[in-house]
Copies of this chain bind each other. A is one copy, B any other.
Amino acid sequence: MHRPKFLSAAFFLLTISAPAFAQTASIERYDSLARQIVKEALGSNKAYEMLRDLCTSTGHRLSGSPGAAMAVQWSRNKMEEYGFDNVRLEPVTVPHWVRGPVEEGFILHPSGKREKVSITALGGSIATPKSGVTAEVVEVKSFQDLHALGDKAKGKIIFFNRPMDRSLAFTFAAYGGAVDQRSAGAIEAAKAGAVAALVRSMTTRLDDKPHTGGMGYVDSIRKVPAAAVSTIGAERLSKLLAEGKPVRLYLKLSAHTLPDVESANVVGELRGTEKPEEVVVIGGHLDSWDKGQGAHDDASGCVQAIEALRLLKTLGLKPKRTIRAVMFMNEENGLRGGTAYAEKERPGEKHIAAIESDMGGFTPHGFGIGDSTAHAKLVRWAPVFSFFAADRIQLGGGGADISPLAHKGVPPMSLLVDTHRYFDFHHSDNDTYEAVNERELALGAAAMAIFSYIIAEEGL
């Protein structure tokens, strides 16, 4: 209720209206259900069991990979096992980029010594020639720096070394302030006449694991290979460059793109008892990068969506409107699943909201709502989430997979979580199920169950 301290209780009672009384009753009802849901989520620990199983039984889940195909079956089987309604695959054709067998990075010292640096191809990169690329490294912190180099960039490996700003309180803002180097570095490097792009990993932590991630080319610009370098590797290169002598680097990548592959979004639901045609989507993306196990990104979101339905079903809660769990395919390098889901004809159906969990399996803080009308209606439910400190219901939110739905007018929502550790793991070998805490994961699933149930009951 967020009753302010400067209003007396008597004043509050005088101003409260009949709808407000009804709302108080609803809040009490949902608060009681929410406590049962949280208790079951924490007590059963099913989300973490699923996470461990998914992360260890399929291998990585990069779009088009055997692991992704296995994960599709895993998800369908899991939802059938729990007895969800209308469990099905919805076909999606996905790109199939592969890293290939070779990734090598060496500093070539004048002495002849080769010093290894930890690099990995960015997702979508072309290979280097089989003999690799050997060139002098030029460090820049921005595209402006690069443009200012003029001819000095020609024939070089451009080393984009602007760190994520660790002093920002919100890590996603720090990511947003650095990720242009990864997404467009190869394009800008090629425009400047360079032979390759090397990008400092998107993490605030100093470690020796390179963090991959999506990058792009444009048709009009020559393609050059692009790799991430670990932050320790980046610091090493920067230190050598600061000594003022030329630094030569050898890079070899075998990445390439294969023909598209047939894959699927995986869908299951609790069918609404009164208005089944009105649908609340909850989900995450089933694909991952091919580093680590994609546990936080985004096996967590997928198992939370399944767990949310399981929690409701286990507690005998039958929503008036349909709640649908969707494991989207190909968020990382194409968004084909999110696009296909939104484009599919669904006669008679109306999506009333979509909630994505794709910020890691961390302690939930609340929800971000990317539609001001929906936010204004939903913020009243914050008190239901306050007993487990997940009551921040903020304006602004959504998710990549549900953005095509949002473009069609469906209010998008994100599960907001504590993001301080996210980029320690993101897109790297660090992102394993052991990096997820079982309680934090379970509470996120509970939060999704609670809010999707309230929306399915109350409408929007």
Interface positions of A (Cβ within 8 A of B): 1-6, 15, 20, 38-40, 42-43, 45, 166-169, 171, 204-205, 363, 365, 376, 379-380, 387-389, 392, 418, 420-421, 424, 437-440, 443
Contacts and interface: CB of A to CB of B under 8 A. Distances in A.
A385 to B, nearest CB: 11
A437 to B, nearest CB: 5
A169 B388 contact: yes
Nearest to A421: B437
B363 A389 contact: no
Q: Identify the 3 closest CB pairs spanning chains A and B, nearest first.
A: A43-B167, A420-B439, A169-B388
A17 to B, nearest CB: 8
B440 A420 contact: yes
Given A363-B418, A418-B418, A42 B380 contact: no
A388 B389 CA distance: 14
Contacts of A389: 365, 392, 418
26 contacts: A1-B4, A2-B4, A3-B4, A4-B4, A5-B376, A5-B380, A38-B167, A39-B167, A40-B167, A42-B166, A42-B167, A42-B168, A42-B169, A45-B166, A166-B439, A169-B388, A171-B439, A204-B439, A389-B392, A418-B418, A420-B439, A420-B440, A420-B443, A421-B437, A421-B440, A424-B437
Contacts of A40: 167
A56 to B, nearest CB: 16
A7 to B, nearest CB: 8
Contacts of A42: 166-169
A41 to B, nearest CB: 8
Contacts of A20: 6
B4 A443 contact: no
A18 to B, nearest CB: 13
A379 B205 CA distance: 35
Contacts of A15: 6
B38 A169 contact: yes
A141 B171 CA distance: 44
Nearest to A379: B5
Given A169-B387, A204-B439, A420-B437, 8 more contacts: A5-B379, A6-B15, A169-B443, A171-B439, A365-B389, A420-B440, A420-B443, A421-B437
A425 to B, nearest CB: 11
Nearest to A35: B169
Contacts of A363: 363, 418, 420
A437 B380 CA distance: 33
A68 B15 CA distance: 59
A3 B1 CA distance: 11
A128 to B, nearest CB: 35
A173 to B, nearest CB: 11
Contact of A166 (B43, B166, B365, B387): B43
Contacts of A380: 5
Nearest to A416: B389
A85 B15 CA distance: 53
A231 to B, nearest CB: 13
